[in-house]
Structure 1
């Protein structure tokens, strides 16, 4: 699993303000007139429509206090972009000018985008085709999120050159930085009818972007980039691609508390407070007609390892488990061991304490970010 901070392209802004009737700033040769607004709310809505239509040059008229306009226009632009995360994260830069006389102002905006309308149309077509193959009428929203997650992380590799930022580049080349992963996740989840947004913040290695999704009224974090199963350096060494590696769910539908272990953010996002494991346990209640689907989903994404009967808390409990398995002549058994850093030492001690002549081998891997290990033990018995 690669843990790149990714690279978010900073949005470039140039501002020119003129409060005079005589001084004409004719910076844009072709300009669409988007009409007049008398409140900042109307101005925000008009602006959002222009950005969402991918307008590169447009004019807005405002009838109101010019000082309020100049003081709040940048905030208004950000709010208009927040209405569509896809547009906000493919916008490369924008420039605006204000010309005011009395209570009348003209705002001219020039915007540059990282993805053309034609490229976005290709993304839309690919997404619709992929979802037609991935989704079935019987799927619930939880299952839809999983298949979309799996489709993305097994088809994309992290862009080591740090030059591919869009969903179009992700689909066209199979590579992208975190921004491309998040944009593609946004497109696919939204098309599937799942409420979704793009979150941004920082990790140890720098700026980073990921998604948040809403299921059954609860919001969760979903980091597709960090769930990419390709190991660090695979591209350079020629080792197996993500298509050949096990899918990870380490950053799959996490709470704020879980995510803050190695992600940080300052923007305001919907609170994510509900444990997804608890939610699946509730949905998998035997009294529900669709309980089996949620029980299977819990197993598929590895949350079954959180159950008490599959978790070993300390060396004493590990020794008891080993003795029980050897008495039953088990040739293979699996469990989650909480003090993961002591696994090798404690497992050796448990087999020695059993005083039964056997050979064993163990494979293990970290489980999430809690320090525990998923352990698989194979035992060979003397004839």
Structure 2
């Protein structure tokens, strides 16, 4: 189960827009500058990915519109990256400035540091080549990664370990950590994947979707593990997941419509080998 986070978007207006004329703002604080909401969203996302705990973004433009949209823009920034969405616990911001220019100071608390994220990246780069080969199909690579996670990671029923870092260092994590580690490993293997944040009857939950041979599939390593190393939620369709109580915002994610069968994977490998033979003959 994904632990409920204390999500706090706190807006503190240090200077009231109604009294700007009597309290002019002459200089912007040091930091990046955004001139529209799209740039602002991207700047927030990049600083959070870099695990910046305190950062300032200057905004030059329609500050009234910015103030009215800041909460939404911040939410869009952190939700636009599934891994990032599971990486923080609290976001606070303060705004100071005058009409036309303002400084937004962010304070963010994360579950991991940048050094810990770099450790995850380096470990994944070491592990993945040991469990996959160049001759494997993407289906085979996916299964090898799935099985490695189930063999080396256990569910943390105390709900204290929540990241890919804890999965690799302590061998324990919850659904967020399973999904985050799966995304890192699958991406390293060249398989397109995204993290899904939603819920199951027991509460909040996170899992993955993978794209192989142009088709999307649902992939939940957590429930496969706690159910005894099964494939109950391996390469399933949206309909299957919905029938089993999974809930997520389907409007924001691709559809998983293709029914996976082992024969599909075998056919994919046969086609790959045939292609290689034709290339050799040519």
TM bucket by the smaller chain? 0.7 to 0.9
User: Residue 253 of structure 1 aligns with which residue?
Assistant: 235
2:137 and 2:248 map into 1 onto residues whose CA distance is 30
Shift of 1:100: 3.4
Question: Helix, strand or coil for the counterpart of 1:271?
Answer: coil
What is the CA–CA distance in structure 2 between the aligned matches of 1:194 and 1:54, rounded to whole Å?
Answer: 25
Question: Which of these residues, 251, 260, 272, is aligned with residue 276 of structure 1?
Answer: 260
CA apart distance, 1:60: 0.9
Superimposed CA distance per residue, residues 187-243 of structure 1 (whole angstroms, 9 cap, x where no aligned partner): 111222211111111111111111111112222111010000x45xxxxxxxxxxxx
Runs of 5+ consecutive residues of structure 1 not aligned to the other structure:
25-31, 232-244, 292-383
Secondary structure, counterpart of 1:260 in structure 2 = helix
Q: Provide the TM-score with structure 1 as the length reference.
A: 0.64
Q: RMSD of the TM alignment (CA)?
A: 2.5
Of 180, 184, 189, which aligns to 1:192?
189
TM-score by length of 2: 0.85
Distance 2:213 2:272 in 1: 17
Q: Residues 41, 250 of structure 1: CA spacing in aligned structure 2 closer, same or farther, 3 A cutoff?
A: same
**Using CA pairs below 8 Å that are at least 6 residues apart, which structure has the higher relative contact order?**
2
Structure 1, residues 97-155: CA drift from partner, whole Å, max 9, x if none? 12231211211111111111121122112211111201111122111111111100111
The answer to whether the 8 Å contact 2:57/2:105 transfers is yes
Question: Which residue in the other structure is 2:49 paired with?
Answer: 52
2:82–2:197 CA contact under 8 A, matched in 1: no
CA 8–136 in structure 1, closer or farther in 2 if over 3 Å, else same: farther
2: distance between equivalents of 1:37 and 1:289?
47
2:224 is paired with a residue whose SS is coil
Match of 2:98 in 1: 101
CA–CA distance in structure 2, aligned partners of residues 104 and 149 of structure 1: 49
Q: CA deviation at 1:185?
A: 0.8
Aligned length: 265
Give me the whole-angstrom Cα distance separating, in 2, the residues matched to 1:49 and 1:113.
14
User: CA 1:285/1:145 → structure 2, altered by over 3 Å: closer, same or farther?
Assistant: closer
Matches of 1:198 and 1:33 in 2, distance apart? Answer: 34
After TM superposition, the structure 1 = structure 2 runs for residues 262-341 of structure 1, keeping only pairs within 5 Å, are 262-266=245-249, 268-277=252-261, 280-281=263-264, 284=267, 288=271, 290=273
Taking a change above 3 Å as real, the CA distance of residues 23 and 157 of structure 1, as seen in their structure-2 partners, is: farther
- 2:8 is the counterpart of 1:12: yes
Q: 1:16 to 1:137 in 2, by over 3 A?
A: same
Counterpart of 1:136 in structure 2 is 133
Paired with 2:272 and 2:190, the residues of 1 have a C-alpha distance of 23
